[in-house]
Structures are given as structure tokens and as C-alpha cells.
Structure 1
Amino acid sequence: MNSRRDFIQKITAATIAFPFLKQAVAANKSFNKKPYDGPVLRVAIMGLGSYGTRVAEAMRDCTKAKLVGVISGTPSKITAWQTRYNIPEKNCYNYANFDSIKDNPDIDAVYIITPNGLHHDEAIRVAKAGKHVISEKPMALNAKEGQEMVDACKAANVKLLVGYRMHFEPHTLEVIRMRKAGEFGKILFFQGLSGFTIGDPNQWRLNKKLSGGGSLMDIGIYSINGSRYMTGEDPIWVTAEETKNDPVKFKEGVDETIQFQLGFPGGSVASCLSTYSMNNLDRFFLNGTRGFAEMQPATGYGPIMGRTNKGEINQPVVTHQTVQMEEMSAIILQGKQPIVPVDGEEALKDLKIIDAIYEAAKTGKKVKLNL
């Protein structure tokens, strides 16, 4: 298993049964049931790897967003995508010349799906070209880079959104609704488990320059972000401890396993695990004075499954990336406000937490947060 995306795909595929497939088909049909004649977000994807392909395939079912361009350093991929997605030659760019996208009125936004270490420079170039920026998560390698991306997009008067697909997922939103309605009472505790056994030691995810770290930057960010939308608060302190059993595979600056704890202003605490050395870890648990919510799988591509003290969570199974791109189109073109933010400021908070976790793991001290 070579990546988080392989992990997410395999662990969730094992949960799919025929009823879920029927539900997914029905959900996607109902999602696009009404004819749409509003504005369409025209998107170019930068980075034509496995996840870029997943997004492109999901966008086939979008009505508010359309794939119209590509940016890649591999000419053969560009050619293949041109044929597969009917992309005109004038909307195809490489990493050296994509600044000229500023002169292309047929592209509104660029979705950056490249290694973490490239997001910062690519996003700033896209912003300077006058196009809206959608970045995969984590948005950058650290909070300093993230702030520079936010500032660049503001200066260029373009939107900066981040690929937090779970913020639009129906089971997740149902737990958030129940929590907001007070159905769990006062929130006391959150647990987030995010991990898998990573494969190829030469991949970019184990290259600090490209990844910014290890498991925390790749899979652990799900528990970080999940702790915030599940509890409804931003943490005010963090403690952390790193465990490294394979220093050959996980070199200096590339974390293998990190356990971290978060404290929230309302008094609740979170206990989370991020790892590249254990499988079967994709679980969220939220506990309050009046009830609980458990999600497992919690962040996979689907179907997400969950239950509360009131029973199973029965929400539509959707293609996350389809819904994400539909909703992002509405945010960019129609000013829609999502239930959980997906903008650069939201992503910057996660980067500040990541910085603090690494500091806490290094120093052994509790680190205060001011988000």
C-alpha cells in the first residue's frame, strides 16, 4: 500500500455491499435531479496522478463545475487526458508555462493536486494569474507558508479553498447537526484514529522536502481537522509524543507515529493517533453528557458509516469529490456559505496545530495555541 489514497480506497471498498451501491446511485441521481442553468465553475486540474484522476472522474457528474483544463509535467498524461475528458489544446499547460493561464478566459479556477511542498509556490502563481485557487490538504508545509498563500489570494482578489471533502459528507454533517442541536449534551471527549502501513520507501510522502513531515501531514490531518468540526471548537493547547521504530524508512523529520492530545476551551479533550505503521485505523468517536457518535470509516472515500446513541446514521452515500466540487462552485460563484468552512483561513488553523504538534513532540512540553 503506497499512499493514504490507496488506504482510503481499500479500507472503504471492503465495506461496500449491494444496498450501499443502490443507495449511492440513488443519492447521486437525486443530487443532480433538478435541471441546473446557473453559473458553472470551469476548472483546470494541476497534477494528474491518482487523486487528480479521481477528482476528474467525479466531476463527470457535476452540474455546477466542469473540468476544462490540465497542468502537468508529463506530456503523455496531458495527451491522455485531452482524449478522455475532451480538453482543448489551448487549455493544456506544463509547470513552466502555466502563468500564461492569466490570458485564458475559459478557466476560472485551478485545483492543485501535487505534493504538499509544491502547493505554496503553485498557489501564489495561480493567484497572480487571477484564477481562483483550490488546494489539496494540507494547504502548505507550515503556517508561515499557509499565511503567505492566504495573503497572496487576498491581494489578487481570488478565492482560496482547500479540499476538505468531509465538510460536505452527509453522515458527517448529520453528526454536526446533532451536536449543534445539543443532542449529545456537553461535549467531553473526542478520539481520532488515522493510519495505515505505508509501502514504497522512495515515494514523495516519505520525502520531507516534498511532504513536510510524515504521517501527520498525510493522514493525521484528518484527525486534527475532525477534532475541530466534531467538537465545534478550536483547541487551545496540544501535547504530543512521537514513536519511531524504523529510522531507516522514516528518516529525520519524517514521523512514523505521533500520538497527540488537544484541549478545548469548553473543557473537552481529544486523544488522537497518526501513524504510517498500523492498518485499520479510520475511526472517530465523540462523547458527551447525553450521548455519543461513532464513525468508522470516518474519512474514507465511502461509504462513511456511523452510529450514535440513538442508532445508525442513515444518510445518502455520495461521491465525495462530486459533492465537494458542486459546493465549491457555489461558494466561489454564488457566495454560498458552507456549514463548515473550507477556505484558506480554515486550513491555516490546521497548519498552526500541526506546527504545534511537531513542537510538542520535539520538546515534550504542552504548547499553547491561539487560533
Structure 2
Amino acid sequence: MATSKKVYGYVTLLRHGETHANVGNIIQGHMDTNLSPVGLSQAQDLKVHMNSIPIDVVISSDLKRASMTAEALGLSISLEQDSRLRERNFGRYCGAPRGELQEFAERNARTGGGCDGWRAVGGECSHEMAHRTSTFLLDFCSRLIQGLRNEEPLSDYSHVSVQSPIFRHSARASMPEPVQDCFDDPDNHTFRYAGHALMVSHGGWIRHFLRIMALQAEHSFYFPKQCFSSVMNNCGICQIGIAFDVAQFLAFRNQQPSTRVTGNLSPLPVFGNVLESPDQEHKCQFHHLAHQRFPLFTVCYHFNLMKSDLDRKDGRKHSTSPSNKAANDLCGRMEVIFSDDGDEYAGMPTTNDANRNS
């Protein structure tokens, strides 16, 4: 495949089903919990809908609540597991009530513990979490390129105007129009469809992934504010489109980390605690790696779709609107920067709520 090609594909993000710990507002992190009967039923209820999508690869976290969710979908594709899709590690607070973790996070911020404070309790700081998420993303994009190297170009879809092509789309989905218009040569017909991936993971991980897609991609469209401030419901679905120029991506990938981050940071300090001082923040070895700007073009079509939304078949309640602005215009600074560093239940109520916990 010539390196002048543009690659595009789709990703469906699925959060695992409910666990007993979710019901009790217990921080799970790297705890290897099982689905509850309700959680298993939630996943099985999506079987018909998920099997209607021509999915090419299924990747899940290696924690049981995620892999059990993926297996319950009954897809004919072999399941791959990747530990980089795990929830954030909260160290000694894995298995603790949410309130205890919140108290630690507030105390850690107040006393200037920063990233070292999280590592002192055996956990990951948010920069480390973001770094492993972005590393997975880079490997995934490289895999899309490798999978197309020996294939013929797909049919030209540049004349097709499709705003939400993901659910029940053809096996070769059309190029997302908002992404196509970003390139300098949209009439060159060099786009190639790389396929559709299903990723089954956790609320915190998906939130980090969406922040990267929305705020660290070169261009992003239609990402709602909720994807920055809250986790999705159990078995909630998000669908996005990704496109990139192969030559630009490979050049970026081949750069050394020390040069790749120079002048290439996200305009917003998305990750980490807003109360950390700049000096503390920059001491973290993962800080700059977590704030890279990626040569990607991304579109959000659906956020936090539930089975009831899919049953209505139109998905309008949670679909993004073609009239929405780019992601950086959808949210203000204080709606993106949080002081709830480390909260696995971000955006959820502080009291026990079996229907909404993450």
C-alpha cells in the first residue's frame, strides 16, 4: 500500500456489564470481578444488535468483567485480550468504598502529593493511565495500516454523504463526510476502509480514550461534553470514526518521544488533578507522553447508547448532531479539567445507585 493513502475505520466502545461492586459503589480498578446476573443479562441483551454490525476485530480488557461481557455477545470472531484496556489501578483502594478513594484524592491534591502520591499507594497516576491508553491507540492504528498493505483499494465512497453510518452499515462503510472534508485533497480518492473494531473496556479507560480522541486528535467533531465529565452506563455504547494520512502517521510514530512532544502538547491540561502545581506535574515521567497531539481525524456518532435506544432504531436521543461544532468548541476549560482525579465513578451520584454506577 502506498504511503500516500488515507486510512479510515470505526470503533465501537462498549463498557462492561454491571458487577456487584458497581451496585455498592466499590472501587474496582484492577480487581478481577465477575459480572452480576444483571450484568450478564445486559450484555446478552445486546447480542442481536452487536451481531448486526460487520465487526472485524474484538478486543477486551483482560479483566473478567470486560471479557465476560464480550463473550456474552456471541460474536463469531475470536476475542483478543489486552491488559492495556484495564481500568485505572487504584492500588490499595481497589476494593474500597468510593468515599475512601475520594478522601484520598482530595487529601493528595491538598498536600501536593501529585503523581507520586498515587504511586505511593500502589496506584497509577492519571498521566500513566493516559500513556498506556495512547500507546494502545498508536499500536491499533499501526495495525490498521499493516492489515491493508497487501489489499486492493476499496471502492470510492467520496460521493456518499453519510452522517451516522455505523449501525447496520454495509460491510464497506463510507468515509465519514466530516473527516473527509478535513483533508487537503478530498477528491483524490485515496481513502481506504480498514474495518471496524469492537473494544470492551471500563468506564475510566473509555473516558481517557475519548478524551484523546476529542482533545488530542488533530481534528475532532461532535464529541459531547458528557464524554469528558462522566463514564458511560454499564453496557453503554459509544461509536467513533477514525481517519489518518498513513505517511503522516508513520512519520509521527517513528519520532523519538523526546522530539515527538516538543511543541505538540494538547492545548488543555486534560489529564491529572487541577490542583497539582506545574512543578509537581512535570516531575511525572508520563506527563508529556500523556499529552501528545496525534495526527488523527475523529468523529463521534453516538455516546452512551443503551439497548432501549437501539430498540428505537433511530438512536436520536444520544446521537451527535451534524450541526454540532468541533469538540474543542463544545466544552469550556472548567468542564474538561476536573478535581475528581482517580474517581472510577465520575459523573455518577455519590449515593448507591444500582442503575447508574460505573
TM-score norm. by structure 2 comes to 0.28
- Structure number with the higher helix fraction is 1
- Structure number with the higher strand fraction is 1
Tell which has more relative contact order, 1 or 2 (C-alpha 8 A, sep 6+): 2
TM-score norm. by structure 1 comes to 0.28
